[in-house]
Amino acid sequence: MKSILVPIDFSEQAKYAAKVASDIARLTNSKIYLLHMLELPTGIIDPAGYGTSNNTPSALLFLSRAHEKFEDFKKLPFLEGIEVEDSVQFHKAYDGIIDESKKQNVDLIVMGSKGTSGLEEMLVGSNTEKVVRNSDVPVLVIKKEIDKFKIDNIVFASNFKFEHRKSFQNILNFASLFNAQLHLLKINTIHNFETTKESSDAIRSFINDFDLGDYTLNIYNDVSVEAGILNFSKVIEADAILLNTSGRRGLAHLFNGSIGEDLANHAKLPVITFKLQ
């Protein structure tokens, strides 16, 4: 990992995300890109004139204030000693985050969230769901302040369909950054039930030929996939939940449609999403 993108709106949630990003940056010797998107009312700035002398005085004032806030933000103690670059852009938040992640060729996006209020209340509103849905790089969503971000136990919940194996090495690479124990988790529900042998065989076939290091294999029964993941994660005192997203309709189509947005809304743990390849 070489670079991390953190969208910033100068809220407490943005600070939590930046603090986590700083811990990861120290661990991996990565650079942090702090990005603030200015979505100004129509007429204040001409979209064709971003960054040019055609910007109106009002737009330039907003830009100047954002840069002043960044100067203060970069003085936060947890960013000391880390290579940090900040950028303020006139763009819609979702488009700007995705575009900047590609432009800077980042390896991870870290975003803040208000937690149980739901995806609509995340750092950049519904834009967070869009980023999770469409980002080609992993997205880490942080919901609360974490004193020292570390992952000793990470849950990888999946349906373990064989065709999704292409993304699995990326997940193993991420877990290895933290030397974490990986807990492979298959949730069985009354509406989508498999025998223990069927689920176990599916998981073992999925992980065949991969070097997993320290891991456990788990089959858990619950009333829903969402509840199963949350309850299992609580039982083992997991530090993070790792999921795949199909990229079609976001979190509602995780696991090819079998898990809903309630997971991201209700999980207090950090959630990391990887786009299926």
Looking at per-residue confidence, does 113 or 226 come out higher?
A: 226
Retrieve residue 113's tokens.
Answer: 């969230």
pTM listed for this prediction? 0.85
SS (HEC) of the chain: CCEEEEECCCCHHHHHHHHHHHHHHHHHCCEEEEEEEECCCECCECHHHCCCCCCCHHHHHHHHHHHHHHHHHCCCHHHCCCCEEEEEEECCHHHHHHHHHHHCCCCEEEEECCCCCCHHHCCCCCHHHHHHHHCCCCEEEECCCCCCCCCCEEEEECCCCHHHHHHHHHHHHHHHHCCCEEEEEEEEECCECCCHHHHHHHHHHHHCCCCCCCEEEEEEECCCHHHHHHHHHHHCCCCEEEEEECCCCHHHHECCCCECCHHHHHCCCCEEEEECC
Q: Provide the pLDDT confidence category of residue 46 given band limits of 50, 70 and 90.
A: very low
Residues in the chain: 277
Mean pLDDT, residues 86-91 taken together: 80
Task: Give whichever of 51-60, 78-87, 239-248, 256-265 has the largest mean pLDDT.
Answer: 78-87
Q: Provide the pLDDT confidence category of residue 115 given band limits of 50, 70 and 90.
A: low
Distance from C-alpha of 205 to C-alpha of 199, rounded to nearest angstrom: 10
Confirm whether 3-142 and 153-275 share one CATH topology.
yes
Question: Is residue 114 over pLDDT 80?
Answer: no
Question: Is residue 47 over pLDDT 50?
Answer: no
Question: Is residue 215 over pLDDT 80?
Answer: yes
Q: What is the predicted pLDDT for the residue at 57?
A: 60
146, 269 Cβ separation under 8 angstroms: no
CATH of 3-142, one of 3.40.50.11030, 3.40.50.620, 1.10.1040.10, 3.30.9.10: 3.40.50.620
Which stretch of 67-76, 114-123, 145-154, 192-201 has the lowest confidence by average pLDDT? 114-123
Q: Provide the pLDDT confidence category of residue 53 given band limits of 50, 70 and 90.
A: very low
Q: Provide the pLDDT confidence category of residue 126 given band limits of 50, 70 and 90.
A: low
Q: Provide the pLDDT confidence category of residue 247 given band limits of 50, 70 and 90.
A: low
Which stretch of 81-85, 236-240, 246-250 has the lowest confidence by average pLDDT? 246-250
What contacts 106, CB < 8 A, 6 or more positions away? 3, 4, 5, 33, 100, 137
pLDDT cut 70: percent of the chain above it = 78
Mean pLDDT, residues 119-146 taken together: 73
Q: What is the predicted pLDDT for the residue at 72?
A: 87
Q: What is the predicted pLDDT for the residue at 133?
A: 76
Q: How far is CA 83 from the centre of its chain?
A: 21
Per-residue pLDDT reduced to its tens digit, 149-191: 999 999 999 989 888 888 899 999 999 999 999 999 999 998 8
Distance from C-alpha of 39 to C-alpha of 255, rounded to nearest angstrom: 33
- In words, the CATH class of domain 153-275 is alpha beta
All structural domains of the chain with their residue ranges: 3-142, 153-275
Q: Provide the pLDDT confidence category of residue 276 given band limits of 50, 70 and 90.
A: confident
Mean pLDDT, residues 136-146 taken together: 91
Question: Is residue 20 over pLDDT 60?
Answer: yes
Question: Is residue 256 over pLDDT 60?
Answer: no
